[in-house]
Structure 1
Amino acid sequence: MKTVRMVWAEDDKYAIGKDGTLPWRLPKDLAHFKKETINSTMVMGRATWESIGRPLPKRKMVVLSTQLDFDPGYEEVTVVHSLRELQNLIDAELTSERLVTVAGGATLYKSLMPIATELSITKVAGDFDGDTFVEPVDNASFELVSSQKDEDNGQAIEFLLYKRKPLGGSHDEG
């Protein structure tokens, strides 16, 4: 199965970032992110790359930046400069049956949502006064297939996995 998995953590108001970083520090969420992205081609925008700052082990890192002179500082990191170039790279990775994960930010999630097959979301209970947001999951396109409640440093969290519904699905809701 060809998979494009988007991975993010959001609060109750769909915030995913604040001041260029995560609004929380939750070890279980970071471990979940690692599990969801390991051995994948991991795609992100320049700002997300800069918040991470280094290649992550056992992932092929791809950064989208419209800055033509952008240099991530690591030879092994692939830089693309347009959504078209990124789409071509993703198509090539999927042809080779490699898992593609999208790790942010908000603009890239929105741009690539039409090709996403899975959404791996950590719901962090509360409002963290973020400044970067994702759109709510489109329940007409995705169905929740698993949910696991947990606690991380005293913070209530929930790991959610959505899968894209088949086109022209046999379910008629309404």
Structure 2
Amino acid sequence: MINAKKIYFSIIEKEDMHYLYQWFSDTNFLKYYDYVPPVPQSKDEVNQTFNDYETKDESVVFAIRLKSDNKIIGIAGFDDMVKSNKVATLFIGIGDKELRGKGYGNESLKILLDYGFNDMDFYRIQLNVLEFNTSAIKLYERAGFKREGVFRDFVLRNNQRYDMFLYGLLKHEYNFNNENRLK
């Protein structure tokens, strides 16, 4: 994987679960992390989710850690991998609310794209993002992701409907000038 400035990826350790329990019970984190309703999850539900990541061949998930003190600040990885098609869905979640908006998502995206296209040999990496997550949309578009579709009024949040955008990035698009995309 590429060498990022402030973070690195590792496996999720048992002692990290305390943080994951906090994040997955935080409705504000969940509101941006996924398109399912942001309902706080129990410890058992979080354990089941991460057990599924470990045991199924369709996902890979990493802890995002600060180089300065090894603290876990979020999670990132690929889900819905279809290895025969060389396709995967990317996800990033910065769980530590004090560290959101400080460039850690940008560095995480660099690492994921490098790992996905070069180590996992994906041909296509895709993602879903809700229309109100404007900072993530800017990041993905700056990285070269193309908006390929929209599920109109897909999500209901606080009695208001929002679109879900579908984005994709192909390997040859990533390889074209990828050095300058995410600075």
Considering the TM-score relative to the shorter chain, is it more than 0.5? no
Higher relative contact order (CA 8 A, sep 6+): 1
Pairwise TM-score range, normalised by the shorter structure: 0.3 to 0.5
Larger proportion of helix: 2
